Every structure is written in structure tokens, then in C-alpha cells.
Amino acid sequence: MSESVYDRIGGEAAVDAAVDLFYRKVLADDRINQFFEGVDMDRQAGKQKAFLTMALGGPHNYTGKDMRDGHAHLVARGLNDSHFDAVIENLGATLTELGVPADLIGEAAAIAESTRNDVLGR
Amino acid sequence: MTVTFQGQQYRLQEQETVLDCLLRHGVVIPNSCRSGICQTCLMKAVSGGVPGTAQKGLKQTWREQQYFLACSWRPEQDVEVALTDEKTLPHLEAEVLSREYLNDLIVRLRLQPQQTFDYRPGQFIHLQCGDDNTLVRSYSLASVPAQDQALEIHVRLVPDGRMSGWIHQECQPGQQLLFSGPYGECYYMPGHEQQGLLLLATGSGLAPLWGIVRDAIDQGHTGPIRLFHGAPSADELYLVDELRRLDEEYEQFTYIPCLDGEDAGDFIVTQPDLFCAGRVQDQALEYQPDLKGWRVYLCGNPGMVNEAKRKVFLAGTALAEIHADPFVSPYSA
């Protein structure tokens, strides 16, 4: 098995560097920040870290069902493909800012993409 | 081996995590990634040495207090654990030494613990009051152990508040009260003496920050320390003279009282160099738009704390450097 993007960019330390950057972009993005209103920021940052770790191919135990259950309340509030696209875009911009090469960003985006139907409850 | 939780013992299997053990026995513990990353399963060890592997990524203040991730601890001995908002500390006694009004609504209570009590300024205690000790409320510690022998808390009179009403009307010097603590992670930590500190308070949220500011100065903090205290009108501020004196005495410390009530504007026009017009979260950001590398303390009404938290984060403060009033526990998200 080839080494994951997670390992190649520096593992947990790289994700730690990415979390604040990514979360700040998401909160500043008017297309999606309404979904984060009133959410406890510390707990949310933990989830963001778990998401980034997963997207980068790092260790996680999330299942498709976890993704569905975890986002069902947001789907009920109108979460759709355009919001999912915006998150992927912020993911790409974060990794670009950290100097991650384009092909590795592509791999991360593909992993995130693979959760689309579960996240959107389809 | 067993895991003790809320008075119950649960048998732990070989190589099992605390989280898996509790879940297997039907105990509901919030969790998400089960990989030691998302921190949803944050708990606190009452006994049993927590290994570093179960504290990966936790704030220093949480590590010091034996917080751990339940999905990442495979104990090799009997342990007792608790949720992070449980009252896990024993009760202590304190004698009321004095009660004085700091303004029309806020009382300063000085309490002398009857047992040894170690704490950091800015942490809080659970205080029991009332005729049969049935009332319990949390109060932040404004005192600094190096300067003050007694504990100091600030109690704001809340309309129809049973506890604050009792403290304002019936509590007398000489009375013995029960309390437990210290709790919370909102306190000064030495080691980054040149870092900028931004502190925002509304109302009696000044109490922990009054402790933290003096503690930081005591411990030789040389970086800028900016304290914004907000209230609707000047007579709802307090410790104004003490804070202005501190501001004059220490070059690194700046005190900025902010008024945001309806009449505040007119009032400030006559005394523009004494008060700022506006809300603390707006004034602070105007004064210091780039907060990269700063440490921030937020105490007061939840509306201000939540809004300010988001604002200072977007202005560049790392999330791990934002310490909010700890009355909102990690489990009340």
C-alpha cells in the first residue's frame, strides 16, 4: 500500500497546522457559515481535525453511517451539493496555503468527495 | 481491572479503552472519531495516572488537570473517571471574612478557607449557600494567592436570584460556607512572557480577569496586557480606580472601560479620555485588529463570550489560545 497523503505531508503536526486555517476559512465563508452558528467552537475544531485527518488518509474510524447520522440535522436545514463543494474548495485552499503539492491535494479532495452521498444523506 | 464511573465499577477487558468499556456496559459517553482526534470523548481522571498517549492534543491546562480522551486510554490498573463537568472534588469549609459593595449591584465576598486550598486566579469554585446548603452556584476567584490570604469572589445581584439574594441580604461575616474546587482552565500560564494578552469582560466577569491580570504582572509578564471591561453605564463598572492605578503603575498594562448603554454616548462626550463608547468585542478588535500570536481571555455574558470568541479567532488567535469563561462546560455544547 502506498504511503498516505497524511504521512507524506507530516502526519498529525501537519493537520494541527491546518485545523485553525481551515476552520477560519469555513467560518469566514458566507456560503456555509450559517451551519456553524451557535456551535461550540472547541468541539467543532475537534471535528474539523478529524475530518482533515480522514481526508488526508490518516487514521480514523468513521463509517458511512457516522457521516449520515452526523450531518442529518444539517441536511434537514438545507445542506446540499453547493455547500459540500464550498467545503472541498476551502480544503483545497487550506492545503495550498500550507504548500501541499497539487497532486496530493487532488488525493485529499477525492477522499472527501467519496463521503458526499453519505454526508448529504442520499 | 475495573473502571469506576459515577459510583459504579465496570470490569475492564485486556487492552480495552475506557470508552469501549463504558459503552460496552451501556453507559452513554459522547464520542465521535474514536481515534483520539476529535476530543468529543473528553473525560477527567479522578484516580489512576493518565499516560501521555491519552492526552495527545489537549490544552496544557487540561493535561494538568488529568483530562484525557476516553478512546485513547487503555488502563493497566484500576481507574476512576468522571465527565468533565462533574463535581468531583471534596467539600471544604470557608469562613466569610467580609462583604462589601463594589457598586450598587456587585458584592465582594472574602472567604477564608479552613483547609489548605491551592488554586490559580481565574479558576472557579462551587459555593453552597442558603439555610440548608441546597443552593450551589459557581463563582470565579478574583484573588491572587501570592497577594491575598483570603479568597475573593464577586457576586452580582441577579433579579429573583436565590443565591445572590441570600449573599446580598443574609450572608454575614463569621458564617461558615461549604465549597469545592478549584475548577476551570481560565488562568494565566507562565512561559510566554512576551505574548500579547487580551482580556474581555462584561459585568462581574471582571472577577477572574482581575485575578489573572495581577497574576500575570506578578509572574513577570512583559508583553502587552489589554483589559476591556464593558457595562451599560459608568456606575455599573467597578474596581475602576484600582484598575486605573494598575494602568499607571505598569507600562505593559492597559485598562479600557467600555460603555454600551443607551445614554453612554452623551456621557462619554463629556469625558472622552476616561471611557470608550461601544461593546468590548468591537472596541478590542478596533484597537487590535490583528490578534495573531495573542492569548485571549473572555468572561461574562454568553452572548459577548460567543461572539468575541468567533471574532478573535477570525482575527488570527489560535483556538487553543482562547480561554473562555469556564461556566460553560465542554459537555454543554
Q: Which residues of A touch B35 (CB under 8 A)?
A: 50, 53, 59-61
Compute the mean pLDDT over every residue in chain B, rounded to the nearest whole number.
89
- Band (pLDDT 50/70/90 cuts) for residue B265 is low
What does pLDDT average to over chain A? 92
The residue with greater pLDDT, A49 or B47, is A49
In whole angstroms, what is the distance from residue B261 CA to residue B273 CA? 18
Chain A residues closer than 8 Å to B309 by CB? 41
- The percentage of chain B sitting over the pLDDT mark of 70, rounded to a whole number, equals 92
B6 φ/ψ sector (left φ>0, alpha ψ -120 to 50, else beta): left
CA distance B48 to chain A (A): 25
Question: How much is the average pLDDT of A55-76?
Answer: 91
Confidence of residue B274 (pLDDT cuts 50, 70, 90): confident
Q: Give the closest-approach CA distance of A23 to chain B in angstroms.
A: 9
Chain A contact present for B121, CB below 8 A = no
Contact B209, B134 (CB under 8 A): no
Contact check, Cβ <8 Å, A42/B40 = no
Radius of gyration of chain B (CA): 21
* Closest Cβ–Cβ partner in B32, B56, B313 for A41: B313
Q: Do B310 and A27 touch (CB under 8 A)?
A: yes
Residue in chain B lying closest to A18 (CA): B318
- Residue B302 in grid coordinates: 454568553
Give the chain B residue nearest A54 (alpha carbons). Answer: B33
Q: B202 at the A interface (CB within 8 A)?
A: no
Question: What's the full length of chain B, in residues?
Answer: 333
Closest chain A C-alpha to B322 CA, distance in angstroms: 9
Cβ pair B313:A50 closer than 8 A = no
Q: What is the pLDDT of residues B5-36, one digit of tens each?
A: 999 999 999 999 999 999 999 998 888 888 88
Q: Output the CA–CA distances (angstroms, integers) from residue B200 to A35, B102, B124, B296, in the order listed.
A: 26, 19, 17, 8
**B89 has a pLDDT exceeding 80:** no
Distance CA B73, CA B55 (A): 9
**Whether B325 contacts B208, CB under 8 Å:** yes
Q: Could you give the CA distance from residue B88 to residue B117 in angstroms, rounded to a whole number?
A: 15
pTM of the predicted structure, to 2 decimals: 0.84
Q: Which three cell numbers stand for residue A62?
A: 468513521
Residue B329 has pLDDT above 50, yes or no: no
**Residue B272: band (very low, low, confident or very high) from pLDDT cuts 50, 70, 90:** low
By DSSP bridging, strand B295-299 and strand B322-324 are: parallel
Q: Looking at CA atoms only, how far is residue A116 from chain B in angstroms?
A: 18
Q: In whole angstroms, what is the distance from residue B186 CA to residue B139 CA?
A: 13
Average confidence (pLDDT) over A75-101: 96
Question: Could you give the CA distance from residue B185 to residue B188 in angstroms, rounded to a whole number?
Answer: 9
Stretch A93-116: mean pLDDT, rounded? 94
